[in-house]
Structure 1
Amino acid sequence: METKPQERLRKPRADAQRNRERVLEAAKAVFSVGGAEASLEAVARQAGVGIGTLYRHFPTREDLFEAVYRREVEQLAELAEELKSEPSPVEALRRWLRSTVQFVATKKGMMAALAIVMTANSELAAYSHGHLTRSIGALLARAVEAGEIRNDISADDVLRALIGMCYMHDQTGWQQSVLRLLDVFVDGLRVGKGRE
């Protein structure tokens, strides 16, 4: 009997989707603490699922790293959308940049694995760069339009500066240092009397 097209394209069952989300949350926590070599069994245990369930959703360790990374990039894009309603465009940009530093901080244990995945997967690199620059671009454009931020900086410039600031992520106290630098950076972008 032939499968109907709508049956082939049907969405995953609700419990399967919940399991996938639990695995992603658990992987984020376990990899952040245990690094790229943390066991997948620990991820399954933290998620409250069997190892077979984990492998059904993510056949390889790299698939799981990539899924966690994509999900976090999507959450940063969603945050940028939410921050568009923030009364102060400059503070919206600042909050998004600070959230991105937190994102990097939670990835400390995954950095080596992510570097390998990103190198091997140019589509993933393009995907993340596109999402992040669009997020920055929307927040930056709003601040420029409000006359609060200078108009001679691009989303790529801001992303490069942010990545550069986070480069020393393996040094003790790096996160507090980067948050201070971000404040200096954002204040340096301000124009007119709004500049602090």
Structure 2
Amino acid sequence: MRTLRADARRSREQIVQAAETAFRRYGADASLEAIAKDAGVGSATLHRHFRSRRQLAEAVFQERTEAVAAVADRLKAEREPGPALVHWLRAALEYAVANRGLVMTLLPPSDEDTATKVCGHQILAAAADSLLSAAQAAGAVRADVTVADTLALVNAMSLLAEQDATADVHHLLELAITGIGPSPSGPGSSRPAAGEMPRT
């Protein structure tokens, strides 16, 4: 039984990985048969793990969301609070642009949303809150900035990327973080280095 459980778990992981690649390339309507083939399993095995396309999409969705949250944990351990938050916002934007469905977890959930979407939003909000609280405690971020602000910022850039493929959303994110005004010290003075928040 242990071998069977291990095989089943491995098959499920392979299906999710293949589905993530397929959804990224072809969208949510990607062929389930092709996904099963790329995962090295039969269609019956895929449907045994996931009874519907929606269940499979939500499994991929959950994997992506947890991956973004894991980046926050790593950055908090490796970097100073201010840069950690900035780098996580960049990483969240990268994920959201590459995985269109992820952008929906950046929005506050509504009564009609699925449990997966609600849970995904809670996971990202918790990750953002951990980094934001540390950055504010260190004096690297304004005290009036909220978790909703940070997620809304990434969400806006993600939606822009979907609407305009030529938009340099990463540059716009940097502008939003550092501001577009001149340095208080005047022309020629140093601006915050990449990954640092402007001092308030």
Given the two structures, how large is their TM-score scaled by the length of structure 1? 0.80
Opposite residue 29 of structure 1, the aligned amino acid is T
1:96-147 Cα shifts (integer Å, max 9, x gaps) = 1122122222224x58xx9xxx985432232122111111111111111111
The number of equivalent residue pairs is 177
**Higher helix share goes to which structure?**
1
Aligned to 1:162: 154
Partner in structure 1 of residue 133 of structure 2:
141
Contact 1:89 1:143 in 2 (8 A): yes
Instruction: Structure 1: give runs of 5+ residues left out of the alignment.
Output: 1-6
Give 2:172's aligned amino acid.
Answer: L
Aligned to 2:188: none
Per-residue deviation at 1:186? 2.3
Question: SS where residue 67 of structure 1 aligns?
Answer: helix
Alpha-carbon displacement from aligned partner over 1:139-192 (angstroms, at most 9, x marks no partner): 111111111111111101111121112112142234xx211122122224xxx9
Tell me the C-alpha RMSD between the 2 structures: 2.7
Instruction: Work out whether residues 136 and 155 of structure 1, in 8 Å CA contact, stay in contact via their aligned partners in 2.
Output: yes
1:94 and 1:31 map into 2 onto residues whose CA distance is 28
Partner of 2:165: 172
3-state DSSP class of the match of 2:78?
coil
Q: What does residue 132 of structure 1 align with? A: 124
Distance across 2 between alignment mates of 1:170 and 1:26: 26
Percent identity at matched positions?
35
1:19 aligns with 2:11: yes
Question: Could you list the runs of 4 or more consecutive aligned residues of structure 1 that deviate by over 6 angstroms after TM superposition?
Answer: none
Spell out the pairing of 1:1-196 with structure 2 (5 A cutoff). Answer: 13-108=5-100, 121-168=113-160, 169-174=162-167, 177-188=168-179, 195=198
Q: Deviation at 1:68?
A: 0.4
Q: SS of the residue aligned with 1:84?
A: helix
Tell me how far 1:72 sits from its aligned partner: 0.9
